């Protein structure tokens, strides 16, 4: 393996994301991440500093939600509804979602999660909205998005797979439209 910094950094982030998603923040060690990435612990520490900093970077670089939020503001409710419908009806959960679900409750990690959700979800959605209290309306939408994980944990993946996909998406679109309107 060549010592290409970018490729090594990417391998470390991918390994960290998968391990945090599978085992939770508290159960993962820097040694586990280094081993999974084919790197040594000193290199992981040099690139990312602390486990918390690595967690934050893995979270920030692994989310695909920003791409859903960005775009024409008039289609925001539809894009969010589509993403949520797909997540609810499929058995697939992206590693960042699993990372959030298994993050733990330490104040340091809660602060990282808070900053991540605020920056990548609430503020991004609020920037798309016109009218009064955009952050409050964006937070309502974020509540719907984040609540999906709780429902999936309780009832399992594919929880509403027997319901017509178009109907699910349309109902979610209406709910997002209500949350986001002025």
Digit-coded pLDDT (tens) for 3-31: 588 889 999 999 999 999 999 999 999 99
pTM of the predicted structure, to 2 decimals: 0.81
| Host H or E run for residue 16 | helix 5-23
Task: Name, in order, each residue with C-beta under 8 angstroms of 57's C-beta and a sequence gap of 6 or more.
Answer: 13, 48
Which has more pLDDT, 22 or 159? 22
Distance of CA 66 to the CA centre of its chain: 9
CB 17 within 8 A of CB 62: yes
Mutual angle of helices 76-89 and 134-155, in 10-degree steps: 10
Mean pLDDT of the chain: 89
3-state secondary structure of 161: coil
In the structure, what pLDDT confidence band is assigned to residue 1 with cuts at 50, 70 and 90?
very low
pLDDT in tens, 103-148: 878 888 999 999 999 999 999 999 999 999 999 999 999 999 888 7
Calculate mean pLDDT across residues 156-168. Answer: 75
Residue 161 in tokens: 């797979």
Radius of gyration of the chain (CA): 18
Residue 41 in tokens: 């612990």
Which has more pLDDT, 165 or 25? 25
Of 91, 72, 74, 86, the C-alpha closest to 169 is 86
Q: Which pLDDT score is estimated for 86?
A: 83
């Amino acid at each position: 393996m060549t010592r290409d910094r970018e490729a090594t950094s990417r391998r470390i982030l991918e390994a960290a994301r998968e391990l945090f998603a599978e085992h939770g923040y508290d159960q993962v060690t820097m040694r586990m991440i280094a081993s999974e990435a084919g790197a040594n612990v000193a290199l992981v520490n040099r690139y990312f500093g602390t486990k918390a900093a690595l967690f934050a970077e893995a979270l920030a670089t692994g989310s695909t939600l920003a791409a859903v939020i960005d775009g024409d503001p008039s289609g925001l409710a539809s894009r969010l509804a589509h993403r949520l419908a797909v997540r609810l009806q499929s058995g697939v959960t992206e590693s960042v979602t699993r990372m959030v679900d298994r993050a733990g409750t330490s104040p340091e990690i809660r602060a990282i999660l808070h900053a991540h959700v605020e920056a990548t979800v609430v503020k991004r959605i609020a920037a798309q909205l016109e009218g009064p209290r955009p952050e409050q309306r964006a937070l309502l939408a974020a509540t719907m998005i984040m609540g999906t994980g709780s429902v999936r944990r309780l009832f399992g993946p594919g929880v509403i797979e027997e319901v017509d996909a178009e109907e699910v998406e349309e109902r979610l679109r209406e709910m997002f439209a209500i949350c986001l309107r002025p």
